[in-house]
């Protein structure tokens, strides 16, 4: 079912191939970590991952440190459970853990008590990744950041019931709570443009977003271009609908558009004029969906996370077989 998962007793390396020396394998294991961070934005590049880690530390030591805790835990869990080595090596088992680390330190505080929660969350995220892959593979859909979204959502909803967990929680009201109004200033606009890229990792400082954009460009100029255009689409969609200006400036309408735009531009779809229009519609839809999901999750103390991107991109990719004008790579 799940695209021929590796049989447990099959040899892991083809017979004629000589196993890599230990030093080589240690180096590859180490490089898995930055690749896991880079895969949040669909890039398998070590350099992109290193720049993303730099961006996180610039945003705050706690984001960098807990991101590393998350990516390492998730990757090690996948290894211990026997996930296919290629998936691990490409960083595909690390990116949900990365985001779990960043989200939990943001919502629950940089306390020691957050450490076991990140570890537990990353382990749960690894199991969820495997389960979702089994369910989604028949439809040729990846999990995207859904495992992270599920883990962070249920932990955020449950946290207030647990005295030890809730002790260090931080206020996470959107900027518009203290600064309401729908008139977008020039500062809102250009900050919002960069923050749309940075908010994928919960960062709301413009130059952190810029480092992420540079990191993307190192791996794929096309992805960086799609991210920039999509951040703009998200910003303009939110502005046109009449969203709060402070939230637009914080990039809250941009990051889901950014991820959707990268995913639908050359990454999971064949590039074509019709495909580009399709990607624009997808990015705008993800931005427009943001407020609905935010209101929905607010009721129970959850957060929007990257749910709009996950849901919209699943729908737009699942639809492709019905549309003769749009194609997925073979």
Identify residues 19-78 at the interface with a copy of itself (CB under 8 A): none
Based on the shown chain and the rule CB under 8 A, indicate whether residue 109 belongs to the binding site for a copy of itself: no
Task: Closer to a copy of itself by CB, 67 or 243: give it.
Answer: 243
Based on the shown chain and the rule CB under 8 A, indicate whether residue 166 belongs to the binding site for a copy of itself: yes
Handedness of CA 295, 301, 303, 308 (dihedral sign): negative
Considering only 23, 161, 171, 178, the residue that binds a copy of itself (CB under 8 A) is 161
Residue 148 beta carbon to a copy of itself: minimum distance, rounded to whole angstroms: 14
Size of the site for a copy of itself (CB under 8 A): 78
The b-or-e profile of 304-316 (16+ CB within 10 A means b, else e) is: bbbbbbbbbbbeb
Task: Closer to a copy of itself by CB, 2 or 26: give it.
Answer: 2
Handedness of CA 201, 154, 131, 105 (dihedral sign): positive
Contact 153, 128 (CB under 8 A): no
Task: Closer to a copy of itself by CB, 46 or 117: give it.
Answer: 117
Task: Closer to a copy of itself by CB, 161 or 171: give it.
Answer: 161
Based on the shown chain and the rule CB under 8 A, indicate whether residue 173 belongs to the binding site for a copy of itself: no
For residue 323, the 8-state DSSP code is -
Task: Closer to a copy of itself by CB, 172 or 295: give it.
Answer: 295
Considering only 13, 24, 47, 158, the residue that binds a copy of itself (CB under 8 A) is 158
Return all residues near 40 (Cβ < 8 A) that are at least 6 apart. Answer: 52, 95, 98, 99, 145, 200, 201
**Cα–Cα distance for residue pair 219/163, rounded to 1 Å:** 43
Task: Closer to a copy of itself by CB, 48 or 285: give it.
Answer: 285
Tokens in use for 309?
A: 């991107």
Residue 227 beta carbon to a copy of itself: minimum distance, rounded to whole angstroms: 22
Tokens in use for 224?
A: 């960086």
Residue 117 beta carbon to a copy of itself: minimum distance, rounded to whole angstroms: 9
Residue 23 beta carbon to a copy of itself: minimum distance, rounded to whole angstroms: 25
Based on the shown chain and the rule CB under 8 A, indicate whether residue 221 belongs to the binding site for a copy of itself: no
Residue 32 beta carbon to a copy of itself: minimum distance, rounded to whole angstroms: 17
Based on the shown chain and the rule CB under 8 A, indicate whether residue 271 belongs to the binding site for a copy of itself: no
Based on the shown chain and the rule CB under 8 A, indicate whether residue 190 belongs to the binding site for a copy of itself: no
Task: Please list every residue from 131 through 150 that binds a copy of itself, using CB under 8 A.
Answer: 131-135, 138-140
**Cα–Cα distance for residue pair 250/184, rounded to 1 Å:** 11
Based on the shown chain and the rule CB under 8 A, indicate whether residue 299 belongs to the binding site for a copy of itself: yes
Task: Closer to a copy of itself by CB, 46 or 289: give it.
Answer: 289
Contact 122, 105 (CB under 8 A): no
Helix residue spans in the chain (DSSP H): 22-38, 46-59, 61-81, 85-89, 95-108, 114-136, 146-158, 163-166, 186-198, 206-219, 221-241, 245-249, 255-262, 273-298, 307-318
Cα Rg, the chain, nearest whole Å: 19
Task: Closer to a copy of itself by CB, 40 or 286: give it.
Answer: 286
Task: Please list every residue from 273 through 292 that binds a copy of itself, using CB under 8 A.
Answer: 274, 278, 281, 284-285, 288-292
Return all residues near 99 (Cβ < 8 A) that are at least 6 apart. Answer: 40, 67, 70, 145, 148, 152, 201, 306
Contact 238, 287 (CB under 8 A): yes
Task: Please list every residue from 234 through 263 that binds a copy of itself, using CB under 8 A.
Answer: 240-244
Task: Closer to a copy of itself by CB, 268 or 278: give it.
Answer: 278
């Amino acid at each position: 079912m799940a695209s021929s998962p590796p049989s447990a007793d099959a040899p892991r390396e083809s017979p004629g191939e000589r196993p890599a020396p230990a030093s080589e394998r240690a180096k590859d294991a180490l490089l898995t970590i930055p690749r896991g961070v880079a895969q949040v934005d669909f890039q398998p590049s070590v350099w992109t991952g290193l720049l993303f880690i730099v961006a996180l530390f610039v945003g705050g030591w706690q984001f960098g440190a807990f991101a590393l805790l998350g990516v390492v835990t998730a990757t090690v869990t996948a290894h211990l459970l026997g996930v296919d080595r290629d998936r691990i090596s490409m960083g595909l088992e690390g990116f949900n853990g990365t985001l779990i680390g960043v989200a939990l330190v943001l919502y629950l505080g940089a306390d020691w008590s957050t450490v076991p929660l990140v570890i537990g969350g990353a382990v749960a995220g690894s199991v969820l990744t495997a389960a979702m892959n089994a369910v989604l593979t028949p439809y040729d859909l990846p999990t995207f950041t859904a495992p992270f979204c599920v883990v962070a959502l249920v932990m955020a909803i449950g946290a207030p019931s647990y005295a030890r967990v809730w002790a260090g929680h931080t206020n996470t009201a959107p900027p518009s709570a203290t600064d309401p109004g729908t008139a977008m200033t020039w500062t809102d606009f250009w900050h919002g443009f960069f923050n749309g890229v940075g908010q994928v990792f919960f960062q709301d400082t413009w130059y952190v977003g810029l480092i992420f954009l540079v990191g993307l460009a190192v791996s794929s100029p096309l992805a960086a271009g799609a991210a920039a255009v999509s951040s703009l689409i998200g910003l303009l969609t939110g502005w046109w609908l009449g969203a709060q200006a402070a939230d637009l400036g914080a990039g809250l309408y941009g990051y889901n558009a950014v991820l959707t735009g990268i995913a639908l531009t050359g990454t999971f779809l064949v590039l074509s004029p019709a495909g580009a229009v399709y990607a624009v519609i997808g990015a705008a839809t993800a931005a427009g969906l943001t407020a609905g999901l935010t209101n929905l999750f607010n009721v129970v103390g959850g957060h929007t996370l990257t749910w709009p991107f996950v849901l919209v991109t699943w729908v737009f990719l699942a639809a492709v077989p019905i549309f003769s004008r749009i194609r997925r790579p073979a």
